[in-house]
Structures are given as structure tokens and as C-alpha cells.
Amino acid sequence: MSELKDELEEHEERIRYISNYEYNLPVDFLAMWTNIETAIEDIDKIKLELRTIQSEIQTLHDELANSLTIVAHVCSFMTFLRLSLSCIICSSPILPKGNPNDESYSQIPLFISYLKAANPTTITELETHTDENGSQHFKRLFISHGASQEGFHFLRKLMVVSGAHIRRSDSGFLIVAIGQYANFQTYPLAFAVVDHQTEEAWRWFLHQLEQCFPDNNKTTILSDGGGMAERAISACFPEASHVDCLRRLQLSLNLYFHDNGITNLVREAACAHTIGVFRRAFNRVNETNPDCATYLQSIGFPRWTSYYQAGDRYNIMTASIAHGFIHLLLPQTTGPIINLLNFYHTTVMRWLQTRLRASMDHPGVMSPGVQGFMDKLAVSKSQWQVLHISYGACEVVNSVGKIHFVNPLRRSCSCKVFNKLWIPCIHALVASDALRISAESLVHTCYTSVAWFETYIPQLYPCQEPLPAEATADGATELLPPISSPLVGRPRPKTRMVTINF
């Protein structure tokens, strides 16, 4: 009986435990569910606050956009107002660009004498004109430093000749001759100021230039002076090769045929190094505009193409290096003429000094410009491989199957880039690695650091200050500004412009 009683008590205890567990479970679950509902409500509140903040941000963005629009309109209106006020017509007459009473012309002979005293090898030529009253007027001035003439022996034999109208008068004209040395930078050769742009002035300049840089069949002259310059070059440099500026040719084609798209095709044909690429490009020009193709043929392919080029124009297709130097000089043309001459001399002198130091500090065999050019090519050497080698000649092929034949020792490649630039192309670099030849030995001597250094060994020296007695004696001869000729066309109104800055 006692065992049954104990077993009954045990069962009652189990029933009591189970009843308590079933009773407590819903309570805990409801509490948890209540917490979940509270969290969901909090999340909804946060979402509502985020939507409110987003709408406020959008409102601020719209206000900022409206403010920027208003500011842009205000700036546009202020610009329009400034331009409008700058066109106010006043009663005082307009002043000419150049000062007709510029007394600095009388200092030119003194400047030339002291320039040649400090730099004896400098060649100058001053031409004057005598009027009816016996007064001497400035006409032309030519300057070529002896250092430039000596340094030209280490440059590529290419001269870029260009000119521009100066700002000091309506008829003055500035002419420069520029070369390019081993580091692909500007090297001034000669400089001239003439009273008018005429064929006679071009002939005079080129005649003086020929005295400094004698004519020979190894020299190439690139110019953008049009017909006047072409005839003058043919007369003064009969043996030298003459090529045209591609940029001027493109502008002429756009003017004659009114087709902007044709200029890109012409440039593609002009820059082609192989006959196949040139024919494909020129055939596209002929298909697009037959009249333009006929005009280009009448000019002559050697004048404007790289494949049929007359002489060696290398990679210089335009007169941009001369234009850059002219734009450097143009701001000085608004003042006295003597400031322009001093600026030209000091600029060339400073360039020679700084570049000599740079060449002395450069440790490489080649100039930095050529080294950078070859480093860019070397990046794609992995795309090419040598198939065959025979007596120093290599057959190079890329992943697409394009084949080129290279002879590094003769500095030639079927792509013609090596032949025309005198710098190894990508195919020559691959072949030189296969033949175990140094790529630096394939570069022409005009691109080496030694040529760079030799170019700038001749230096210029500053003009000495004249003594007062000498200045007085030389100043006795008065040189007047050039005689201005009447302008062709509609005369300018005798009013001046007033600009009001805000």
C-alpha cells in the first residue's frame, strides 16, 4: 500500500508540474509578442521620421538648385551688362595700337652695338628708309645669335618659319625661325621685325637666314606663310626641301570646300608612314570629295604627306613650335620696340643657361624626351615576338598576325617609323632584344645626351649698360618709327571703348 501511495504522489507531482508549465507558457509568449509589436511600432515611427527627413532634404536640394540657377542668371546678366557698358561711345578719339612717337626706335642702333659687343658672333641687320624730309624711319631688323648658329649643327636639320602681325601697329609683322633639339623643345634660330608683311619682306628675312644657315640639300624648311613665303623660300633656299604646315592646309580646305569632316581624312593621309595606309586614306578623301583630292594632287604629295615627304620632316607636321614662341613674344609688342628686343635676347639667354644645366645633370644616354617616348613603346613589347632571324634582319609578328620586317643595324623597318623618326619603333625594340643589341645604340646621335649638351655649350651674355657719353653720341642719329600705310577697307570709328569692371 505504501508503494502505491508513493507512486500516486509521484504522478500527482508530475501532473502539477505539467499544469504549471502549460500555464506559464502562454504568459511568456504573450509578453514576447507584446515586445515584438512595440518594436514594430517603433520601426514604423523611425520610417516615418526618415521619410520626413528625406522630404526635407529634397526640399533643400530644390532650393539650392533654384539658388544656383538664380546665381547663373545673375552672372549672365552681369556679363551682359559689362559688355553693354563697355560699348559706350565717348567723344574722345581712339588711340592707335602703336605709339607713333615711340622714341625707343632711336635706341635700336645702340642696342645692336652692345649686343654684338657682348656676343661677337651674333648677326644683325638693320634696314631703314629715308622719307622726303631726310628723316630715317625704321623698316626691318634681323637678329640671329651666334650661339644658335653653332648649336644648330647638333639639331635635326629642320627649320620651322612662321610669322604673325604684332599688336603695336596695324602693319608691323614678326617673323621667327625655330628648330627643335634632342629633348623635343623649342630652339630659337632667328628673329625679325618688319614694317609690312610682303613678299619682299619674306625674301629679305630668308636671305638673312640663308647667310646664317647656308642652303644645302639636307635642310628642310616648314612654313605656314602661304604663297609669299613659298616663293621666297624657293628663291633663297633652292636646294633645301620645302614642306607645308598641315594645320594651314586643313584650314584652307575647310575654307574652300566647307567640309569639316574632310580635314580628318586629310590628316590621316598626311600622317601615314606606309603606302598602303596612305592609299586607303586618300581613296576615302577622293570618295568623299573628288574636288578636294584633285586640289591635294595639284599641290603635290611631297609638300604635305609624310610618306612622300620632301626631305626629313620627322614627326613635325605643323608649325606649332613656332606659334608657341610667337605667342610668347606677342605680349611684348604692345610697348616700346626696345622692350621686345630685350625680351627676345634675355629669353634665349635664359633658355640656353637653364637647359645647359639640365643636360649636365641628366645621367642617361638619351635625352629625357626620347627616353620617355621609348618607354611608352616598351610597354607593348609583350604583344610581339620574333619568328625568324637572318643576317641581322628579323621578322616580327604580333598576336593578330601582323608582320613587320626589321633590320636594326640599318635602322630600317617596314612600318617606316624607324626610318623617318630615327628613333626605334616597337618592332625595332623587339628585334634588338632578340639580337641582344642595346636599344640605345639604335637612336640617332642627334637624340643623345651628348648632342643635347653640345647644343647648349655656346652661351649668350647680357648686353652691357652703355656709358652716358656714348649714349649721347649715338643718340644723335634719330630713328623714327616705320611709315604706316593706309589700311584697306572700311575705316575704324574715331571713338574709344570704355570698360567698366564690377
- Predicted local confidence at residue 170, as pLDDT: 52
- The reply to whether 220 and 168 lie within a common domain is yes
SS (H, E, C) 357-384: HHHHHCCCCECHHHHHHHHHHHCCHHHE
Residue 209 lies in a domain: yes
- Cα 116 versus chain centre, distance: 33
Residue 308 lies in a domain: no
Residue 330 lies in a domain: yes
SS (H, E, C) 116-161: HHHCCCCEEEEEEEECCCCCEEEEEEEEECHHHHHHHHHCCCEEEE
Top-ranked range on mean pLDDT: pick from 88-92, 218-222, 414-418, 438-442: 218-222
- Predicted local confidence at residue 353, as pLDDT: 92
The one-letter amino acid at 50: L
Residue 254 lies in a domain: no
- The reply to whether 422 and 461 lie within a common domain is no
Between 113 and 69, where is the model more confident? 113
Top-ranked range on mean pLDDT: pick from 15-24, 74-83, 277-286: 277-286
**Given the DSSP bridges, would you call strands 384-390 and 393-398 parallel, antiparallel or unpaired?**
antiparallel
- The reply to whether 372 and 354 lie within a common domain is no
| Distance set, CA 355 to CA 181, 184, 186, 187, 367 (Å) | 11, 12, 11, 11, 12
Q: Among positive and negative, which fits the CA dihedral 365, 366, 372, 377?
A: negative
The CA distance from 343 to 402, in Å, is 52
> Tens digits of per-residue pLDDT, 331-365?
888 888 888 999 999 999 999 999 999 999 988 88
The CA distance from 462 to 481, in Å, is 25
- The reply to whether 340 and 199 lie within a common domain is yes
Between 435 and 145, where is the model more confident? 145
- Predicted local confidence at residue 254, as pLDDT: 86
Between 186 and 315, where is the model more confident? 186
What does residue 406 show for φ and ψ, rounded to 5 degrees?
A: -125, 140
The one-letter amino acid at 279: R
> Tens digits of per-residue pLDDT, 184-225?
889 999 999 998 888 999 999 999 999 999 999 899 999 988
pLDDT band at 75 (very low <50, low <70, confident <90, very high): low
- The reply to whether 200 and 341 lie within a common domain is yes
**CATH number of residue 347's parent domain:** 3.30.420
Q: Which residues, listed in sequence order, are joined to residue 243 by a DSSP beta bridge?
A: 222
Could you tell me if 390 and 406 are in contact, meaning their C-beta atoms sit under 8 angstroms apart?
no
**Element at 66 (helix H, strand E):** helix 2-86
- Predicted local confidence at residue 380, as pLDDT: 85
What mean pLDDT comes out for the span 408-424? 87
Q: Which residues, listed in sequence order, are joined to residue 192 by a DSSP beta bridge?
A: 142, 175
Q: Give the end of a domain, one of 52, 86, 120.
A: 86
- The reply to whether 322 and 227 lie within a common domain is yes
- The reply to whether 219 and 331 lie within a common domain is yes
DSSP code string of 231-293: HHHHHH-SSSEEEE-HHHHHHHHHHHH--HHHHHHHHHHHT--SHHHHHHHHHHHHHH-HHHH
Residue 440 lies in a domain: yes
Q: Domain of 65?
A: 16-86
236 pLDDT more than 60: yes
The CA distance from 416 to 425, in Å, is 9
Please count the structural domains in the chain.
Answer: 3
- The reply to whether 207 and 186 lie within a common domain is yes
- The reply to whether 44 and 66 lie within a common domain is yes
Between 178 and 89, where is the model more confident? 178
- The reply to whether 401 and 474 lie within a common domain is no
- Cα 42 versus chain centre, distance: 65
Residue 259 lies in a domain: no
> Helix or strand or coil: residue 182?
coil
Q: Give the end of a domain, one of 46, 61, 86.
A: 86
The CA distance from 21 to 118, in Å, is 116
The CA distance from 350 to 460, in Å, is 9
179 pLDDT more than 50: yes
- The reply to whether 182 and 149 lie within a common domain is yes
- Predicted local confidence at residue 391, as pLDDT: 76
Closest CA to 136 of 456, 478, 490: 478
- Predicted local confidence at residue 21, as pLDDT: 44
Mean pLDDT of all residues belonging to the chain: 80
Residue 226 lies in a domain: yes
- The reply to whether 59 and 176 lie within a common domain is no
Residue 290 lies in a domain: no
497 pLDDT more than 50: no
Q: Is 498 left (phi over 0), alpha (psi -120 to 50) or beta?
A: beta
